[in-house]
Each structure stands twice: as structure tokens, then as C-alpha cells.
Amino acid sequence: MIIARSAQELQDALQTMRGSIGFVPTMGALHIGHRTLIDAARKENECVVVSIFVNPTQFLAGEDLSKYPRREEADFKICELSGVDVLFYPDVSAMYGEDEVRICAPDVRGFILEGASRPGHFDGVLTVVMKLLNIVRPTRAYFGKKDAQQLSLITQMVHNFFMNIEIVPMDTVRESDGLALSSRNVYLSPSEREEALKLSASLKRATKMVMQGNTKSSEIKASMESILSPLDVEYVTIVNRSFRFLDEVVIGDTIVLVAARVGTTRLIDNVWM
Ligand code: PAF
């Protein structure tokens, strides 16, 4: 595995390779969810690039940038054992200069839900993903459905800027008890982890209601909220794939989303229907 620490080093490494490039951008603290993305990239492409970069511009003041889990040695091993060809591991100065041009999230889709809770977050995500996609120039890039709004905005950016890259959405990976895998799960104490199961339990309830023929968003949300209580719930909502709010679930075009704070940890989860 080649480790590249600058755009130039990455491009030099890629020059020695042939065929399609599968790209998995990450912020490190790799878990089985990331492994699933890397495995899919490995299966579908000749060459696999993973980036590990804790992007400062997507963290708001007071968020967990300084304590975001960093596990260089373990992450490098996971990449190596997963058959990654090139690991892109830049520092902040290799990615950002002074007074730069940035990508802005769209007015509506970028400023509801996660965008409302974390103003400016998606500008940072889109800016760094644009940089990464331009450096790697992949054939396919792999993103998890757990960050559904991020995935939707990245797909829109690639379309709006006529970028010739296939964005591949990948299902959320869960622990056997339903907890969605997230690098931030390490912040949870054992009792908080127990409480956190309410997120996936509420989504299971939503799925069950829809399977039983109840597609009314207001009723599904009320039922989910009763399961989530007494967590500090930020939102429970039902949107279509373009992030327009739905009064009724439309099978094949619906995402049910939840965001809640468990202790001091903010967790998100969703189910695609
Ligand atoms: O989902 C993430 O890990 C990050 O938001 C991403 C896409 C790597 C950009 O920093």
C-alpha cells in the first residue's frame, strides 16, 4: 500500500496504476461500516484509494474536532489488510490555503435538518469532497446511507458540476442489536449505548407501521417519538430522496430520519423505504 501525503504524491502513485478507481473518503477511526465501503470498492474497481482526513471546515466552533477519534496505526493496518492500493493521508496544510474559494450548500436542502443544526457543516463537507474528488478523479466514490443528507448533497454537487463520477450509496451497517455503526459511538458510556438503541428501535417501529399499511407521516413520527422519549430529540422526520418533507410515505422514495443527543453525543440514524 502506498501512503500519499499530498495531492502530488497521490497523483504520482496513481500514474503507476491502470483501470477504474474506487474511492472511499473517510475521517478515519475506521470501523466495519468503512470496511464494507472499501470491500465494495475493491470488488468493483481495479484500484482502490481511501482518504483519511479529519476535515476542520465541516466542524462548527465547539464541536468535537479536537477530540474526534484518531487512530492512525489501526487505520493504516485496516486499509492494508483490506487491499487498499493508495491511502491518501494529508495534513490540513496539504488541503487548505489562505482565503480560498468554497462550495456552498444549496439554500433549501443544505439548510434543513443537519444543515439547520449545524450551519456551515455542509459547505465544509462539499468543499472537501470536491477537493478530494478532483485530486483522486475516481471512477466511483462510495458513501454510506447513514449520512443521508450528505449523500444527497454530494450526489447533487456531482450532477450540478457535471463531474463524471458515479456516486455509490451503501447500506448502513449495524451492530447485532441494531445500533448503527459510527466513529462517534466510542463516546458512549455503556448506559448511554443502551439508550442509543432507541434510535434504531424507533426506525424499526416506523418500518413495521409502513409494512402494516400505515403510511401517515404524522402517526409514524408520533409513534417514533414515544419510543425515543426521554432522549433529547432534535428531529424525527420523513422526506423523499430529494429531501422534500412528505405527509405520506411513498414506498421506493422515502427516508425516515432521526437525530438525538445521548448524553453529550449527537447521533443520527435513518431507514430508506
Ligand atoms: O462522512 C465523512 O466521513 C465525511 O463527511 C467525509 C465525506 C469524509 C468528508 O470529510
The residue ranges of DSSP E strands in 202-242, in sequence order, are 232-239
Q: How far is the CA of 227 from the centre of ligand 1 (A)?
A: 29
What global pTM score does this model have?
0.96
Ligand 1, atom 8: nearest CA belongs to which residue?
26
Instruction: For residue range 188-210, list pLDDT tens digits in order.
Output: 999 999 999 999 999 999 999 99
- What CATH topology corresponds to 183-272? Pantoate--beta-alanine Ligase; Chain: A,domain 2 (3.30.1300)
Q: Which atom of ligand 1 is nearest to the CA of 125?
A: 9
Closest CA to 216 of 246, 254, 241, 239: 246
Question: Do the beta carbons of residue 225 and residue 236 sit within 8 Å?
Answer: yes
**Cell numbers given for 140:** 466511483
Q: What is the DSSP letter of 72?
A: H
Give per-10-residue mean pLDDT for the chain (273 aa). 98 95 97 97 98 98 93 97 98 98 96 95 98 98 98 98 98 97 95 98 98 98 98 98 97 98 96 98
Q: Which atom of ligand 1 is nearest to the CA of 183?
A: 3
Query: What pLDDT is stored for residue 52 in this prediction?
Result: 98
Cβ atoms of 271 and 199 closer than 8 Å: no
Active centre residues (catalytic): 34
Handedness of CA 36, 149, 216, 195 (dihedral sign): positive
- Residue/partner pairs of 214-218 with CB below 8 Å, 24 or more apart: 215/248, 215/249, 215/250, 216/247, 216/248, 217/245, 217/246, 217/247, 217/248, 217/249, 218/247
* Angstrom distance (rounded) from CA 166 to CA 21: 11
CATH superfamily name and code, 2-170 = HUPs (3.40.50.620)
> How far apart are the C-alpha atoms of 262 and 221, rounded to whole Å?
19
pLDDT of the residue at 173: 97
pLDDT of residue 227: 98
Between the two ends of the chain, the Cα-to-Cα distance in Å is 38
Alpha carbons within 13 A on the beta-carbon side of 191: 3
Q: Which residues have any ligand 1 atom within 6 Å of their CB?
A: 25-27, 55, 58, 125, 128-129, 147, 150
CA–centroid distance, residue 119 to ligand 1 (Å): 16
Structural domain spans, the chain: 2-170, 183-272
What pLDDT score was predicted for residue 202?
A: 98
Can you list the positions of beta strands (E) in the chain?
Answer: 2-4, 21-26, 47-52, 86-88, 140-144, 166-170, 232-239, 255-262, 265-272
For residue 210, report the phi and psi dihedrals to the nearest 5 degrees. -65, -40
Give the pLDDT confidence score for residue 179 in this predicted structure: 98
Q: What is the pLDDT of residue 235?
A: 98
Q: Which of 53, 61, 59 is nearest to 93 (CA)?
A: 53
Measure the CA–CA gap between 208 and 214, rounded to whole angstroms. 9
